[in-house]
Structures are given as structure tokens and as C-alpha cells.
Amino acid sequence: RTNDDERTIRELAFKTLQELWFSYSRSADADEETVATETARNVFNTLSPDGQKEMLKRVRVMTGVVEAVRSHELVDLMASLFEHVSSGPSQSEAEDAQLVIRCVIDALFEQLLRAEESAADGLDAGTDIAEGFSVATCLRFISTLSSIAPEAVGLHAESLSAYLKLSKTAEQDTLANVLVIFGNTLLKIPHPGAAFLRSLEDDLISLLSSSPQNILALAVPCMCDLIEKLTRNHVKLIRVFRSCVLQLCREQRVINGGGKGALTSKNLMRFIILAGLSCRYFDFDKHRQRQKEHFRELDQLAKGSMVELLNELLLFFARPIHSAPVQLAAIQMLGQLHIKRPRLAVEPQARAMMDRALTGDSASHQLQVLRNFLEFLRTDAKRLAAQERDDRSKEREIDAKALVGNTGGMSEAGVGASLMQTYLDRIIGATFATN
């Protein structure tokens, strides 16, 4: 109901949740000044025993909601709720909500530790698990909160690195949640040590060799952020990307020469996905211009743009001469490149690929193109929202540039509208599909 069309219902839902989940009686617990200044330690532990019990009841209910409805929509609604209560109708209510959110996060990490100990002791029916605080449920809720309160989750994030070292034995759901948490909090971890960053980098790179696609989709962006903004160890990322692109180029040459490709579909898909995600989340072209000597290895691939090179390769592997899974991987990564460089989406070859997929017999290819559209529009909406937050002086500067013909990236802003105008009939038709 926090997303109801009726304003009064929305406000009532927010008010009810504010009172049930985010109200806080300071007089009943630890000294207010101690709690308020607690930035690096566990705030939950500063509460009185009764206060901790009350907080755990709330956390259990919140965790139950997350477990009952596992969807991206719920994450968005939770984010809206937490943002609403954090800004609060009054300063005191907002401060109470912020403190409760911090306590919830701290309590979850406390329960995660207890659940780990119970699991290690073989107590599958232990009290903590029976009460709803298993390792899986704690990590799932923490991953939801990591996008809402990354600073608070970041205080504990280092303790989760052990799950990456157990990647071969850990459940995929657990590993995925840990990667989501690191992806959201990596830059919010206070004073991360060099040894921790090196270890995390090695763990992420080790995931690339044998992990399934859903893990790669989380590990690669995290690795790109880590290398670009913290470790600056560009060589590792360059070699991963270069190796993948070289394999794709060799395969293309063999097939164009009339031969049979040497790579299996599985390996070919892995190279396509690794190259596509690396190019989406790390700007090789920008870094290459700034540090030509440092990125010299890329000259072995092409003298021009890496995005343009990969775009050509992906269009080649999206053709019907390849197996359906390889085409699907190429179509998916083309969607990632279109987000990176929107104008590529309206070029004739890209349009031909989308037309072929949408009119073909493969439901998975049609669905992937629609998913590409959805992700493109979501990213475009976020980009527009960020622009609207810019100050008026920047807007006037853009307008002045436009008057003399220098529109910069403004031409790319209309790509989403152009795609929707072109494919609207087919998108509407897909909503009536019997599949």
C-alpha cells in the first residue's frame, strides 16, 4: 500500500509502518549520546536486553516479509519506505528511524554470526534457525538493505569475505547475496586494508573461471569497481578482457574462413559474457586515452574503440549461423553495450538483430530483447533523475552549448524513445502472447 495510487492510502501505510517498525523509545535503552555517536561499533549491542528483544521482534517480521516476497519490486518498495522514514515528517522521527535501521543491520549481522555457529555445530534445527535467522535469510535481507543503507552495511562487509573463499561449496543463492552486498557497499567500507582488498580481488577473479552466468553478472561489476576505484590493478582486468576478445576474434576468423569453430558453445558463451560485462562496467576507452602506455596490451586487439570492436563481435555471434545459446548470450551482452553506448542501439545492424529476434521462433531470444529494453529504460530513467538533481547553472550551460550546436551526449537521451516508437507494436503484442 506504500505504492497505492491514492495519496491518502499511501500516507496512512507509511505512517503505520513508521509506528510499527521505526519508532524508538530512547529512555528505555542505552545513553542517547552513546548510541548517537556509535559509528564504528555495533549499535544493537548498546541497547538494553529488553530493547534488544524488541528490536529482534521487528527484525524477524521484516525478514519474514523479505522471505515471503522475493522480488525486485519489493526491494524498490523497501527502499522507498526506508528513504521516506529516514527523511521523516519530523527531525526526531527521522533520527529515530535512522537509528532503528542501523540497529536492524547490526542485529542481522549478530544473528548471522549465531546462525553460522549453529550450522558449524551441526544444529540444523537450532533455536536461531527455527526463529527464522538462518544464514540464507540473514544474507538475503542484508543484501536488500545494502542498497538502502550502504554505509551501515559497509561497516560489517569485510566479515563476509569468507563466503567468497568457500565459493565452490557455498550455495549459489548465498554467494549471489554476498556479491550483491559487496557491489553495493564496496566504496563505503571504512578504511579497508590492502591485504583485504588484494584477497577480495583474487577471490573475485577466481569466480570468473567456473561460475554460472548469474554469478558472473554480479562478480564482474564488483571486480571492475574494485580495480578502478580501490586497487588500481588494471593489468588483471586488461588481461581478462584481452584474453576473451582474442578468443572471440580467432573463432570469428575460423568461421569466416569456412572452418568449424574450435570453441564449445559453453566456452564461447563464457567469453562473450565476460567480455561484454567487463566492457559495460569498465571504460577501457577512457582509461586508454589517459594512460596509453599502461593499456598498451589492448593495441593487440585494435587501435580504435574497444566498445566498437566488441559490438562487431557480438553482432557476429548473434547471427543465426550460431547455436541458440550462443546467440542468446550475444543478444544479452549487446543489451549491456547499448546501455554503455546508447547510439549503438539505433544503428542498422543492431535494428536488424532485434527485428530478427522479435520475429523469430525463439521465445528466449524475444524475451531477452524485451529484457534489454527494460534494463535500458530503467538505466535511462536513473540517468535522467540524476540530471534533474543537477543545479540550474549546469542546465543553463548545457542549453548554451546546444545553441551553438554542441549537444554532447544529449542526442543519446532520445534513444530510448526512438526504440519504443519503433518496437511499441511488438512489445504490446508480446503482452498478449500465449507463451
> Which band of pLDDT confidence, cut at 50, 70 and 90, is reported for residue 226?
very high
Q: Has residue 210 got a pLDDT over 90?
A: no
Least confident of 39-43, 50-54, 164-168, 412-416: 39-43
- pTM score of the predicted model: 0.84
Once rounded to an integer, what is the mean pLDDT over residues 243-247?
A: 94
Three-state DSSP state, 166: coil
Instruction: Round to whole Å and give the CA distance between 368 and 355.
Output: 13
pLDDT, residue 242, reads 93
% of the chain residues with pLDDT over 90: 45
> Which band of pLDDT confidence, cut at 50, 70 and 90, is reported for residue 420?
confident
pLDDT, residue 412, reads 63
Task: Provide the residue type at 151 as one letter.
Answer: E
pLDDT tens-digit series, residues 332-363: 999 999 999 999 999 999 999 999 999 888 99
Q: Has residue 88 got a pLDDT over 70?
A: no
pLDDT, residue 360, reads 87
pLDDT tens-digit series, residues 32-58: 444 444 444 688 888 888 888 888 998
Instruction: Round to whole Å and give the CA distance between 105 and 150.
Output: 10
> Which band of pLDDT confidence, cut at 50, 70 and 90, is reported for residue 10?
confident
Q: Has residue 252 got a pLDDT over 70?
A: yes
C-alpha distances in Å from residue 24, one per residue of 12, 94, 103: 19, 11, 11
> Which band of pLDDT confidence, cut at 50, 70 and 90, is reported for residue 422?
confident
CA nearest neighbour of 340 among 269, 279, 420, 415: 279
pLDDT, residue 325, reads 95
Q: At which residue does the C-alpha cell 574462413 appear?
A: 257
Distance of CA 427 to the CA centre of its chain: 25
Alpha helices in 89-207 (DSSP H): 91-120, 127-130, 135-146, 150-154, 161-165, 172-185, 194-207
Task: Provide the residue type at 71 as one letter.
Answer: S
H/E stretch holding 14 = helix 7-21
pLDDT, residue 240, reads 94
Q: At which residue does the C-alpha cell 537509528 appear?
A: 99
Q: Has residue 238 got a pLDDT over 50?
A: yes
Instruction: Round to whole Å and give the CA distance between 210 and 228.
Output: 23
Q: Has residue 331 got a pLDDT over 90?
A: yes
Q: Has residue 328 got a pLDDT over 70?
A: yes
pLDDT, residue 411, reads 54
Give the CB-side neighbour count of residue 88, counting CA atoms within 13 A: 16
Task: Provide the residue type at 304 as one letter.
Answer: G
pLDDT tens-digit series, residues 111-143: 998 888 877 666 554 444 446 688 888 998 899
% of the chain residues with pLDDT over 70: 86
